[in-house]
């Protein structure tokens, strides 16, 4: 006795499968030894090698002729916007919410890529990481400066923590306030974002 499920299975046509009888590029009839499957398409070996070479060249061009000074400007501007966003959030809410700082790495990485014309390379990664990390430290200084100055105002003190700081020692002392494990975690996330975004793509062309 044929069950209802079996009858329905027989009546329903199987899903369409990609054609592997001809090359998706040159439409040459393929033999078993001259067929290379890539995703949902099949190619003859000659066309596959041509397409692989073109793809490799396209990826290689992404790391060539990079305007590093312009990319540096983009990374610095992106990091600065992220730092101001974190500081502005702190000033408006009076809450030192460190997770907002993650946007610094995101903007530094995208700034480097955009100003480099969409290029990606290890050099751009280094630029984005440096700009992102420095922007994070400056933003952390600004956040601490805000809270310290608020405390000084409440105590009736007339002096304030300045920006820019008068010395490297002042920068370090203000930055060190409440710079604990969570700040290190946020800094690591910033560095990771800045590193990943300009990373050159890796090709997996194994047939």
Beta-carbon count within 10 A of 192 CB? 15
Q: How far apart are CA 189 and CA 60, in angstroms?
A: 28
| pTM (2 d.p.) | 0.74
Q: Report the C-alpha gap between 89 and 96 in whole angstroms.
A: 8
> What pLDDT is attached to residue 203?
66
Look at the chain and count its residues: 207
pLDDT digits (tens, 9 = 90+) for 172-202: 999 999 888 988 999 999 999 999 999 988 7
In which band, very low, low, confident or very high, does the pLDDT at 4 lie, cut at 50, 70 and 90? very low
| H helical segments located in the chain | 4-11, 45-61, 68-93, 102-115, 122-154, 168-176, 181-196
Higher-scoring residue by pLDDT: 112, 49:
112
Choice between 165 and 60, residue whose per-residue pLDDT is larger: 165
Confidence grade of residue 5 (pLDDT, cut at 50, 70, 90): very low
Stretch 41-64: mean pLDDT? 77
Structure confidence at residue 97 (pLDDT):
74
17, pLDDT greater than 50:
no
Top-confidence residue, 59 or 72:
72
Please provide the average confidence, as pLDDT, over all residues in the chain: 84
pLDDT digits (tens, 9 = 90+) for 73-122: 999 999 999 999 999 988 888 776 777 888 999 999 999 999 999 999 99
Residue 25 pLDDT exceeds 80: yes
């Amino acid at each position: 006795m044929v069950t209802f499920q079996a009858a329905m299975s027989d009546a329903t046509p199987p899903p369409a499968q990609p054609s592997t009888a001809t090359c998706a590029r040159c439409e040459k009839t393929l033999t078993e030894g001259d067929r290379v499957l890539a995703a949902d398409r099949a190619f003859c070996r000659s066309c596959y090698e041509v397409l692989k070479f073109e793809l490799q060249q396209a990826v290689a061009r992404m790391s060539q002729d990079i305007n590093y000074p312009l990319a540096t400007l983009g990374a610095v501007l992106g990091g600065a916007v992220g730092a101001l966003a974190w500081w502005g959030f702190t000033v408006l809410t009076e809450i030192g919410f460190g997770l907002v700082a993650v946007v610094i790495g995101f903007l530094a990485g995208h700034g480097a890529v955009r100003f480099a014309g969409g290029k990606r390379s290890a050099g751009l990664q280094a630029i984005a990481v440096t700009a992102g990390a420095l922007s994070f430290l400056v933003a952390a200084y600004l956040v601490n400066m805000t809270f310290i100055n608020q405390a000084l105002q409440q105590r009736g003190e007339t002096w304030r923590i300045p920006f820019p700081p008068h010395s490297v020692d002042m920068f370090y002392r203000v930055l060190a306030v409440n710079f604990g494990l969570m700040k290190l975690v946020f800094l690591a996330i910033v560095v990771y974002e800045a590193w990943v975004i300009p990373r050159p793509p890796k090709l997996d062309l194994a047939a």
